[in-house]
Chain A
């Protein structure tokens, strides 16, 4: 799976790349419009993560160019601009997602995964983790082959964990993933806790191992116990 990160802020580009590489992606980074243009023309990528404001050009033009050359490449815009027009324009010219800076790396990762599933297998692919099987197309979860009924939030939470296995997730990132950017109160962390409690209980009931570990002061991690 090849990902191209077009981001002029070197540090941020590095962080994204590190995160992606750890997850098994082949990841390349460019910091200028010119370099990005060259890469797009030379190679094929499964997904392109592009910043709109580049020192020598505009991300929108890159997306238009990319869509002309290779329409199946997934595009995720990351931008500090949060104006509705920018989002609409981005989606209109063919990008698949729009993330406003600052974002959580785990959120970006989850969006990339979801995009890849939609693009490559039309959503039919199953996500497997040990005895857990998730079928995103039908939003069904199986533990040891048994269907497990989860609420919408619990399902989203599980999928978020599965997109970020072995990664420490902050409570804030989980809250924002589940309820959107508008959740900014301390209460949201308590809500996260209650959903995690329920999800863990339901998985354990069906005989799954306890994969959700809490990390003191930070949040949670989904990994082999």
Chain B
């Protein structure tokens, strides 16, 4: 939920509760006031009645009191002498409707006989008053609420504008380009501070990114050049006619070792580059098709190792990847399937629109399948493997929204790539 929508919603809910409480309190107060008024008038009438009875010592339904206004009933038994107020509904003779009344009941002896006297006052006017007051209040409080809501929205929209501006610029900010993060200054101190911090952070990140990129490039150069030198010198040494068998063996070992370091270096650099997101020319690539091609390219190796290939059913499995990485991914997968296969073994490729399976026959694993994705984790300790192939595959998958799983059972190794 957006910040403004959230604050608006909270504001609206809070004001509604407050307004409802206010309305309720208002209603109660008005009602109390009216009752107080009606009751004090009823008491006055009671005094009038008592005065009348004391003077005349009798009661006749005087025309002074209109219908239902007073009811005098003789009571035989002793009754409590306390006066009491209560609400009552009385049928109106004219329009045959029940109308609300407030009634004061007290006991008065007339001619020595105790009478229960009930004096009533219609509440119909006061009810109307309450209705009008309530309606007015609802309308005005509602208007106030809406007005405040609108104002609040406009105000916070304007206040938070620099924030949203900053946000959209950060979203567009690309670390790998040279353009720096430009945020416009605002009149609000906090946002200015935020922008300052962000700009500094972005500049630092860009600088770090650049130096990291330079470092990987330089490291590559600095390591590959001496390796090239070693290789060149070893090659020259090999040309020497008078080498003993031991010497050729040593040379061979040096040569192998230097080539291994070189592959290791290239693998680590590739990993670093993927991690640093130095590849950014992603395009739609059909991995299933690429794998099929790669398997076809390796026909020499496959026929030499007597491996059979079974492709299908294959449905295009399209992913968004930089071309160089897609190639590296596919090469590593195929190399892995060939390298860890058995003689007369098989390689199977199937795919659906969302999943791609590459299966190969092979010996049972001694390590957990998931751990094979770790760097330098090798199943066999063969000198020809540096143990980075699957780590590279994993890194590419992780960085470009793909999920990869490795399963091995009954001599079948299965790698499954799916969209995360």
List residues of chain A with CB under 8 Å of any chain B CB. Answer: 9, 11-12, 15-16, 18-19, 53, 78-84, 100-106, 153, 167-168, 170, 172-173, 179, 182-188, 190-191, 194, 215-218
Decide if A15 touches B235 in the complex (CB within 8 Å). yes
Decide if A103 touches B228 in the complex (CB within 8 Å). yes
Decide if B331 touches A194 in the complex (CB within 8 Å). no
Contact with A along B260-287 (1 / 0, CB 8 A): 0011001000000000000000000000
Decide if B249 touches A217 in the complex (CB within 8 Å). yes
Is B259 interfacial (CB 8 A cutoff)?
yes
A49 to chain B, nearest CB (A): 12
- Given the known inter-chain contacts A102-B228, A217-B245, please indicate yes or no for A81 contacting B217, CB distance below 8 A: yes
Decide if B331 touches A182 in the complex (CB within 8 Å). yes
Q: Give bound CA distance, A34 to B304, whole Å.
A: 50
Decide if A217 touches B248 in the complex (CB within 8 Å). yes
- Given the known inter-chain contacts A185-B338, A217-B245, please indicate yes or no for A172 contacting B259, CB distance below 8 A: yes
Contact with A along B409-420 (1 / 0, CB 8 A): 000000000000
Decide if A190 touches B304 in the complex (CB within 8 Å). yes
Decide if B239 touches A167 in the complex (CB within 8 Å). yes
Q: In the complex, which residues of chain B have a beta carbon less than 8 angstroms from the beta carbon of A182?
A: 331, 335
Decide if B231 touches A153 in the complex (CB within 8 Å). no
For B232, B259, B304, B382, the residue with the greatest tally of chain A CB atoms inside 10 Å of its CB is B232
Q: Which of A18, A101, A167, A172 contacts B228 (CB 8 A)?
A: A101
Listed by A's residue number, 9 A-B pairs whose Cβ atoms lie within 8 Å are: A11-B229, A11-B233, A12-B225, A12-B228, A80-B220, A80-B228, A102-B232, A168-B238, A217-B249
B214 to chain A, nearest CB (A): 12
Q: Give bound CA distance, A79 to B46, whole Å.
A: 116
Decide if A106 touches B235 in the complex (CB within 8 Å). yes
Decide if B232 touches A216 in the complex (CB within 8 Å). no
Instruction: For the A-B complex with A80-B224, A188-B301 known, give 6 more contacts whose Cβ atoms are closer than 8 Å.
Output: A80-B221, A102-B228, A105-B235, A170-B255, A187-B304, A217-B249
Q: In the complex, which residues of chain B have a beta carbon less than 8 angstroms from the beta carbon of A78?
A: 228
Contact with A along B302-330 (1 / 0, CB 8 A): 00110000000000000000011000000
Is B251 interfacial (CB 8 A cutoff)?
yes
For B231, B235, B301, B331, the residue with the greatest tally of chain A CB atoms inside 10 Å of its CB is B235
Q: Give bound CA distance, A187 to B238, whole Å.
A: 22
Q: Which of B236, B251, B266 contacts A19 (CB 8 A)?
A: B236
A127 to chain B, nearest CB (A): 21
Q: In the complex, which residues of chain B have a beta carbon less than 8 angstroms from the beta carbon of A106?
A: 235
Closest to A9 in B: B225
Closest to A86 in B: B217
Decide if B235 touches A179 in the complex (CB within 8 Å). no
For B224, B245, B255, B383, the residue with the greatest tally of chain A CB atoms inside 10 Å of its CB is B224
Q: In the complex, which residues of chain B have a beta carbon less than 8 angstroms from the beta carbon of A190?
A: 304
Q: Give bound CA distance, A186 to B380, whole Å.
A: 13
A133 to chain B, nearest CB (A): 26
- Given the known inter-chain contacts A12-B232, A170-B238, please indicate yes or no for A179 contacting B255, CB distance below 8 A: no
Q: Which of B224, B239, B331, B384 contacts A102 (CB 8 A)?
A: B224
Is B97 interfacial (CB 8 A cutoff)?
no
- Given the known inter-chain contacts A101-B228, A190-B304, A191-B304, please indicate yes or no for A172 contacting B255, CB distance below 8 A: yes
Q: Which of B223, B255, B305, B331 contacts A187 (CB 8 A)?
A: B305
Contact with A along B57-70 (1 / 0, CB 8 A): 00000000000000
Q: Give bound CA distance, A79 to B383, whole Å.
A: 26
Decide if A194 touches B248 in the complex (CB within 8 Å). no
Decide if B239 touches A186 in the complex (CB within 8 Å). no
Decide if A185 touches B335 in the complex (CB within 8 Å). yes
Q: Give bound CA distance, A19 to B228, whole Å.
A: 14
Is B339 interfacial (CB 8 A cutoff)?
yes
- Given the known inter-chain contacts A82-B220, A102-B262, A218-B248, please indicate yes or no for A15 contacting B229, CB distance below 8 A: yes
Q: Give bound CA distance, A102 to B382, whole Å.
A: 22
Q: Which of B223, B233, B262, B383 contacts A186 (CB 8 A)?
A: B383
B324 to chain A, nearest CB (A): 4
Decide if B235 touches A104 in the complex (CB within 8 Å). yes
B126 to chain A, nearest CB (A): 88
Query: Which parts of B336-352 form the interface with A (CB within 8 Å)?
Result: 338-339
Q: Which of B239, B248, B251, B339 contacts A185 (CB 8 A)?
A: B339
Q: Give bound CA distance, A182 to B329, whole Å.
A: 12
